[in-house]
Amino acid sequence: MDRLRSVAWFLRPLAIIHHLGRKSRRRYRTPVVAFRTAEGFVIPMTYGRDVDWARNLVAAGGGELERLGQNFAVRNPRIVGDAVAGPRLPPVIGRALVAAKLPGFVLVDIAAG
Provide the pLDDT for residue 11. Answer: 47
- Number of domains composing the chain: 1
Q: What is the pLDDT of residues 3-62, one digit of tens each?
A: 544 444 444 689 999 999 999 999 999 999 999 999 999 999 988 888 999 999 999 999
Q: What is the CATH number of the domain that holds 12?
A: 2.30.110.10
* This prediction's pTM: 0.86
Range of the domain at 90: 2-110
Provide the pLDDT for residue 94. Answer: 85
What's phi and psi for 37, nearest 5 deg? Answer: -125, 180
Judged on CB neighbours under 10 Å (0-12, 13-18, 19+), 99 is: exposed
Hey, is 44 helix, strand or coil? strand
